[in-house]
Structure 1
Amino acid sequence: MNGDDNIPTYDDWRELAGRDWRTAGLFTVSVGSRPLRAEAILRHLPGRRLAVRAQWRGETVFAKLFFAGHQDEARREVARHRELIEAGLAVPALLYEGFDSHGAVLVTDWVSGQSGQAALRGEQGVALGEDLLDSLFSLYQAGLRQLDLHLDNFLYDGERFLVIDAGEMAPLPGGLRAEPAILDNLALFCAQLPLDLRDALMEKVAERLRRTGISPAPLAAMVRRRSNRRLSSAMRKWRRESSAIGVWSENDEDWLYRRALADDERDALADALREPASLPSIKQGSRISVYGDDRWIIKHYRETGWKARLRRRFFRGRGDVSWVMGWTWALLGVPTPRPVMLRRCPDGQAVIAFPRLPGEPLSRLMEEQRERAVRVAPTVLLWLDRLHRTGFWHGDTKAQNVLVDDADVPAFIDLDGAGFSPWRRRAARKGARERRRFEANWSQFSER
């Protein structure tokens, strides 16, 4: 493919099934007696299935490759896909289905368009939420529900939302159980929304429920419970190997990294984390040193001793917290740099790398561009309020920990003191203190 002779070609499903996360590169495989050339790996569950964007029969397509033992999943997906078509829902066309003893493959149209999330952040904004809810309630009318209900399971082609991932569809219970099931499904939908879209879309969901004759009164509490479960699960997930995160060990050290890194970037960053002082120094401290260049910021947490080793054991060191919170806040759509590599040393030290964000500290704007700082501050407070209502706190909300880019968009940095609690009262108390800390910055700089 693309003239690259290094991309392997497979004729036997079993060869593909043997790939793990580390070897999940591009490939070519025979599908329907024609080569299917993968262009991008979209999802990989080793030993179970691969989802790819590919070229096949001269077209760009979406293909799911199910490995031996998982053919029944493919059959269920085909059945659900046909049910969606029969119900009149907009779905990608099914181009090919094939089954044999080594696995199964499903090929559908590749829909050019935007993910649901991108569409709702686009020119028409959350007004498109009405169209998205039309598609969602059409699912319910067809007697189906999406078990992994999030915005990226909808595609917007410029005119309508298409429902994708039929494999996660399940029948909607009938009778008296239908309304509770719809409420629970909508609570899942709202809990998986980015925080900046959640309030507006929850209002639209509540209004749609009222028009449908279902009381939205339980929705807010159901969303909180769903959100807590999702966040607790995600914060455990970031600690282990997955399709997003790679893990390796060397010299009794644990390393985690973002799989999206190119090989040369990963190797160069690993060298920098082994010798962080090889990069220009930004800040030197007895417990924390910061280094960086035009691409990366690297923080070296120097704490050692039995307390540091104990925190490391339970993934509670400051580097660990920064890693977990960075990934979790990014999942929620919070503007913050998602960490790309973490080195965890046996003595309790840690070294972590982030992409360097453009911008200036809000504290500098307070001193030098007061009017601009005044414009940005309400957005910072709005994000803090969203975080506090979701159960999070930053831990150190001084203005130095907020970067502002040229478009006056703020981003939070230094999350090593951040935390989460499913008990909202605790988060509210922490939040009140954070707000006071942030507002104290203004009085500090106004006195100058």
Structure 2
Amino acid sequence: MTTSAADTPLTWPQLAALDWARSGGFTLDIDGEPLRAEAVLRHLPGRRIAVRARWRGATVFAKLFFAGHADEAARELARHGALVEAGVPTPRLIFETVGNQGPDRGALMIQEWVDGQSGQATLRGEQGLALAGDLLDSLFLLYRAGLRQLDLHLDNFLFDGERFLVIDAGEVVPLPGGLRYEPAILDNLALFCAQAPLDLRDRLQEQVAVRLRQEGLRSEPLAAMVRRRSDRRLRSAMKKWRRESSAIGVWHEQQEQWLYRRSLNREEFEALSAWLRDPKSLALIKEGSRVSVYGNDQWIVKHYRESGPKTRLRRALFKTRADISWVMGWTWALLGVPTPRPAMLRRRADGEAVIAFPRLEGTLALSTLMEEQRERARRVAPRVELWLKRLGETGFWHGDAKAQNILVDDDDQPFLIDLDGAGFGRIRARRNIQRDLERFERNWVQFTIKY
């Protein structure tokens, strides 16, 4: 019987130095038993990592804090205890080493693994927003205990089929008292709505407003607070996608900057790296004077060949067309907009860039449906218009809403692609989203039925 590298226990310093883009699972010796990580769920480089793992014959959730971050571990352990004491449902703590770490060791919390759906998946499921009341029950249980969740979004809740559990105690903090109590709850619920996907946000906000009134709290300021929270969150996110984070890795090579999605496995990472260095090694899909598109059955690679002083300035500001595609792709995916999330971006010093997206299987361009399946295209069109309106209300516009930039799958779900002309700004969005809708309407004349 052979032992793989993933079965060889690592030291804490080795674990902290592991290259997650190109690594498989890992093993760590915990209390005399091997903890075998099966999947990395979240990674904050140099700080902590959360994994699904096997330990003592059971599947567990483990959060590992690297050396130097013992204070974070101690705070999270204390906040988990506060949730338990308040009667807030949360996964059971099985084991912790928060108080025993040495100078070169990290700290660890192991919790039971709970099968279930994220809050977002639950509200999109069979019972849908009928379960939002149960979710708000969990929130108000927190408030009555004098607590709030600072990172309040749907995926920090898990529905096990019977109840919602709070699954991340790291950002649970005390609520202020006195005159600040009610405004703090309003602000927290505004954050909750602002972090909901656009297709759930309005209806969720309505239910939050109703619940506020039932609790004897003011609901009138909620809508304006949600808009402010949303704008603040989105501006922060659009900066976040440019740097190293739990979702995005960055490396520099000569005068180039590379950004990549951390969830890529080793094979995907290596293949995309090679293709972005030499996009012509893939089949040509479309050749243009400034942009060429290549691909295979899994990936689409766009090569932007713009250069010159203006392009170099835009590159310095992270505003080339490829940069905009990267930032908007990640931001719109965060909002739940149906669009492929970019996987890797290569930024050259001269302003050229190459970017990769996953290929959407089983899709056709809406322009094709307008020419060949007119009635089906008419069924899809209102969904496209609804997404464009949602984007406009959130402060975005597409910039080129032609039918070739909308793909449709077998379930008539539209996907918006080619976001390099998109933008964000409340005032400009009012005008530009109207232009998007007018451009979309002209598709019906441009693409007529073929006989």
Which category of TM-score, normalised to the shorter sequence, fits these structures?
over 0.9
Q: Compare 379-388 and 228-237 and name the one that shifted more.
A: 228-237
Preserved CA contact (<8 Å) 2:23 2:266: no
Determine helix, strand or coil for the equivalent of 1:397. Answer: coil
Q: How does 1:106-121 map to 2 (within 5 A)?
A: 106-121=109-124
Equivalence for 1:315: 318
**What TM-score results when the alignment is normalised by the length of structure 2?**
0.94
Question: What amino acid sits opposite 1:275 in the alignment?
Answer: D
Change in CA separation of 1:267 and 1:104 when aligned onto 2, cut-off 3 Å: closer
| Seq. identity, % | 68
- Determine whether 1:411 maps to 2:415: yes
How many residues in Structure 1 have an aligned counterpart in Structure 2? Answer: 445
- Determine whether 1:129 maps to 2:128: no
Change in CA separation of 1:444 and 1:12 when aligned onto 2, cut-off 3 Å: closer
Q: Work out the CA distance in 2 between the residues paired with 1:70 and 1:277.
A: 45
Equivalence for 1:275: 278
Q: How does 1:34-433 map to 2 (within 5 A)?
A: 34-98=33-97, 99-100=99-100, 101=102, 102-358=105-361, 359-421=363-425, 424-433=426-435
- Determine whether 1:438 maps to 2:433: no
Preserved CA contact (<8 Å) 2:22 2:266: no
Q: Work out the CA distance in 1 between the residues paired with 2:45 and 2:278.
A: 33
Preserved CA contact (<8 Å) 2:372 2:449: no
Question: What amino acid sits opposite 1:57 in the alignment?
Answer: R
**What TM-score results when the alignment is normalised by the length of structure 1?**
0.95
Question: What amino acid sits opposite 1:50 in the alignment?
Answer: I
RMSD: 1.9
Determine helix, strand or coil for the equivalent of 1:240. Answer: coil
Change in CA separation of 1:290 and 1:69 when aligned onto 2, cut-off 3 Å: closer
Q: Compare 281-290 and 410-419 and name the one that shifted more.
A: 281-290
In structure 1, the gaps of 5 or more residues are: none
Q: Work out the CA distance in 1 between the residues paired with 2:299 and 2:14.
A: 38
Question: What amino acid sits opposite 1:263 in the alignment?
Answer: R
Q: Work out the CA distance in 1 between the residues paired with 2:272 and 2:310.
A: 28
Q: Deviations over 1:119-169 (max 9, x none)?
A: 111111111111111111111011100011111110000111011111210
Question: What amino acid sits opposite 2:187 in the alignment?
Answer: D
Preserved CA contact (<8 Å) 2:260 2:343: yes
Q: Work out the CA distance in 1 between the residues paired with 2:297 and 2:18.
A: 35
Q: Work out the CA distance in 1 between the residues paired with 2:61 and 2:313.
A: 46
Q: Which has the higher contact order (CA 8 A, sep 6+)?
A: 2
Question: What amino acid sits opposite 1:419 in the alignment?
Answer: G
Following superposition, the deviation at residue 316 of structure 1 comes to: 0.8
Determine helix, strand or coil for the equivalent of 2:170. Answer: helix
Preserved CA contact (<8 Å) 1:366 1:373: yes
Preserved CA contact (<8 Å) 1:283 1:289: yes
In structure 2, the gaps of 5 or more residues are: none
Following superposition, the deviation at residue 364 of structure 1 comes to: 1.2
Q: Deviations over 1:373-413 (max 9, x none)?
A: 11000000110011011111000001111000111000001
Following superposition, the deviation at residue 80 of structure 1 comes to: 2.0
Determine helix, strand or coil for the equivalent of 1:167. Answer: coil
Q: Deviations over 1:60-101 (max 9, x none)?
A: 111112233322322222222222222222111111122223
